[in-house]
Structure 1
Amino acid sequence: MKPNNILAALLLLSGSTQVWAAPAPVSEAANNPDSLEQRIAQLERMMQTRNKLQLELQQQLNLLQDEVSQVRGVTEEQSYKLEKVLQRQRELYQEIENRVSKAYEQSSSPAAATAVDNSQAISTDLNENEAYDRAVALIMQDKRYDAAIPEFQNFLTTFPQSVYIPNAHYWLGQLQSIKSDDANAIVHFKTVVEQFPESNKRPDAMLKLGALYQKQGKVDLAKQILNTLISEYPSTTAAKLATERLAKI
């Protein structure tokens, strides 16, 4: 055989040997338990790390949800308080408007002034007005509800014939309702309803009375007073609210 042919044969044999030797690493990995355990251990560490991250993310999510719930609760509470303030302001503005209108009528006509004095539609006693305004200011301006209760009680005692007596009873009913003293609140609202049929506070007092009766489980009394309110004051806001309340009883 020529030298060139011999060299070619050797190269061919060498390449064939390399081809057959290629699978050796696979066989070696399969027969090497230490390498397999290392890979399993690595996978376990990866799983542990992932689980730890998931746990931390879940904890952060729970904290965020708690914060959102707290913010929502504060917002709802502030909205409720704001609505209460606005409601009290509307009541005061309506009361002031009525008093100003009556004062204007009184000053524009001597006959009207005489009629007002005789019917006690508005007080001409400065001390009486000051006492009443001071009690109302404790509610509307200072928000000192506990202090306003004895102030109105003193007003009732000091000025038993005042034209503001039904208003004072109404405010006392409101204040007692805020304190959840439903029994005393009912007494004052009933006084307005039963003893002062001409008072502009009577429709609202009837609405409050119906709500308190419903709260106490006296459904029949609640329906009765609310239906009377709707019948006697059909075009008032109180009647509209009474209709909505009756639909839910």
Structure 2
Amino acid sequence: MSVLTRGVAVLGLAGALLAPAQAGIFDDDEARKAILDLRQKLEQSNEAQRVRQAELNAQMADQLSQLKRSLLDLNNQLEQIRAEMAKMRGQDEQLARDVAELQRKQKDVQSGIDERIRKLEPVKVSLDEKEFLADPEEKRMYDEAFAFIRKGDFNAAAAGLSTFVRRYPQSGYLDSAHFWLGNAQYGRREYKEAIGSFRALLAARPEHPKAPEAMLAIANCQVELKDPKGARKTIGELVQAYPKSEAAQAGRERLASIK
């Protein structure tokens, strides 16, 4: 075998021996490369997940922030609604108070009107066998003056009845007012004025139940005025006009003492 042949054989043997080793080296490189690729892909995947998670977190944070703002707005709206409702309740309560006050004032006004109407509305009066209508003020004034007669206060009675006669010349009380005015004037020793009052009653209503007493009172005034002749004449007229009256009987008895 030649040297050349032996060299080729050696190279061929070496190549055969080196081939498996190189193949192993190449397998390791590929595995490492695969591992590196896998790691890179894993890292890329992890990074993508981190990015996605960050995006999701950001979205969730944004949504949470929006939700918080919405809740805050809703709470503000609720507070405004509560405030409006409280204001409306206050307004309703004030309105209720105003209505109640208005109703009270209206009631007071109505009561005042009713009272004024009662004061102006005529009342039915029955006095000395006579029935008539009188204004409330008219009745009050007469009753007040007559009350002074009952108390024996002839000064106040005369003043009240004189005013009454002037103010109510057409009153149903007029005849009785003349009679009691005459009595008050007699009590004040105003005999001439008393005669005038009694004669006013007799002229207006001779059938008045107190007409006989008025005539006897005139005779008594004439006696006080030192007019016995006039007194006897008046008693004579009394007996003739009202013969069965108690005043006529008293007049007959009085004649004996008149000189």
Structure index of larger Rg: 2
